[in-house]
Structure 1
Amino acid sequence: MAATGDAAKVALALGAGAAVVAGVWYYFKERGNAGAASEDEFDGGFEVLNTEESPEKRVLVLGLDGSGKSSLLNGLSKQDNKEETKPTEGFHVIVVQAENVTLNIWEIGGKENVRSYWENFIVGTEVLLFVVDSADTERFDLAKEELGKLLADARLTGVPAIIIANKQDVPGAKGAGEIREILELKNHVSSRDIHVVETQVPLRSAQLGVPTVYDLLTKLTKKS
């Protein structure tokens, strides 16, 4: 699914779960290029952002629930982290104006009932960003399984991936090298660029790794 026109230059925060994900995906699928969604059509759901005229690139952000996707996006959009971020129930879209490129960043919720809809958002993705809670050892196998499904999808063939080893500030968090091994990324590097970045975006504290993610997104989208 790819939003078009003004719909690609908005930020959305919708929290009605899987029904919202499916409904909005179907809405844009059916609408296609017929016209952009207006603010009235999603009452209170749109915040139109000012962006410069530049090539638009689509970034898909996925990961299990609680991995810190929304907090990371707040950092990328230079929003403060003074308030606790609520889990994304449906999906969230932000637009980041980087150097000579406009990044349309789609974050999809990571709860089990929403993960089945991930595949509906793959088409048109130019960079995949997968966030892992580096301290959640009990769910490493599940994260590896979900990431493996994504990287095996033919629609993502050749699409570069940034693996976020998030929550480095949490005791017991695994570093980038360990996360690379745990997720068995060596099995996928032959078909795409894969980067692993350590990040932390704690509440009301200094962030780590966000500028690196920003720079990588800018470089990788320029190549696509």
Structure 2
Amino acid sequence: MYTLLSGTYKYLTRREEYYVMIIGLDNAGKTTLLERIKALFLGVPALPPEKIAPTVGLNICKVDIKSARINFWDLGGQRDLHSIWANYYTECHAIVFVVDSTDKARIEECKETFEKIIMNDNAEGLPILMLANKQDIEGALRVEEIKEVFNQIALKLGARDSRVLPISALEGHGVQEAVDWLFLRLQRNKINRPPVFQ
């Protein structure tokens, strides 16, 4: 009888878990974004920018939204780390690609990197959210300008859910909207990528 009750309790209280990769070129603001998500959803103060070091491996943040848990994986953006990103595609439920809107010199490199991600078979069907970060800085490329650069490869996204949103990870502008968009897409994509139950 205890086993039946225990099993029923576990079934009723189990939680959907999703895994979201945060990737992009180095210095795009991925870890600053993760810190802002922690501040918004966990109530912990975000690390000041001068204390955020380049990510060498992986930073993780777990956030509970409604009855689900989202595990954010912030992976290093240095060129020699790009090859390990593909190891996570089969386990994740969505990809957040962060673009440094002020780094006009590397926008083509950014586009090529993004194209490699969406062309990987293991990333097929994943919702992809592109965040045009550092919109608080004067002279940053606007979302329309970034879309124009990436439009050439947009057709390769196929029918999957994708969006480009402006944010300032440093100031927090647009971060809530980005997470809201992600959460809705994770829920809609359950058939293609079912959640893990814990």
TM-score, normalised relative to structure 1: 0.72
Displacement of 1:90 in angstroms is: 1.1
Displacement of 1:152 in angstroms is: 0.5
Q: AA paired with 2:139?
A: G
1:80 aligns with 2:45: yes
| Alignment partners' CA distance in 2, 1:108 and 1:163 | 15
Checking the alignment, whether the CA contact within 8 Å between 2:63 and 2:71 is kept in structure 1 is: yes
| Alignment partners' CA distance in 2, 1:150 and 1:124 | 15
Identity among equivalent positions (%) equals: 29
Q: AA paired with 2:25?
A: L
1:212 aligned to which of 177, 180, 187: 177
Q: AA paired with 2:165?
A: V
Checking the alignment, whether the CA contact within 8 Å between 2:165 and 2:174 is kept in structure 1 is: yes
Displacement of 1:53 in angstroms is: 4.4
5 Å-filtered alignment, 1:128-167, equals 128-167=95-134
Q: AA paired with 2:178?
A: V
Corresponding residue number in structure 1 for 2:154: 186
Per-residue CA deviation, residues 67-112 of structure 1 (Å, 9 max, x unaligned), is 0001111111224335122211111111111122100111110001
Q: AA paired with 2:31?
A: S
Q: Secondary structure at the match of 1:200?
A: coil
Checking the alignment, whether the CA contact within 8 Å between 1:101 and 1:218 is kept in structure 2 is: no
5+ residue gaps in structure 2?
A: 1-12, 190-198
| Alignment partners' CA distance in 1, 2:45 and 2:156 | 35
1:69 aligned to which of 30, 44, 49: 30
5 Å-filtered alignment, 1:32-181, equals 53-78=14-39, 79-81=44-46, 83-84=48-49, 85-181=52-148
Q: Secondary structure at the match of 1:169?
A: coil
Structure showing greater relative contact order (alpha-carbon pairs closer than 8 Å, 6 or more residues apart):
2
Checking the alignment, whether the CA contact within 8 Å between 2:38 and 2:46 is kept in structure 1 is: no
Q: Secondary structure at the match of 1:188?
A: helix
Q: Which has the higher helix share?
A: 2
Aligned residues: 170
Q: Secondary structure at the match of 2:115?
A: helix
Checking the alignment, whether the CA contact within 8 Å between 2:22 and 2:72 is kept in structure 1 is: yes
Displacement of 1:186 in angstroms is: 2.7
Q: AA paired with 2:114?
A: L
TM-score, normalised relative to structure 2: 0.80
Q: AA paired with 1:64?
A: L
Q: AA paired with 1:83?
A: P
Displacement of 1:221 in angstroms is: 1.1
Displacement of 1:222 in angstroms is: 0.9
Q: AA paired with 1:55?
A: E
Checking the alignment, whether the CA contact within 8 Å between 1:58 and 1:126 is kept in structure 2 is: yes
Q: AA paired with 2:115?
A: G
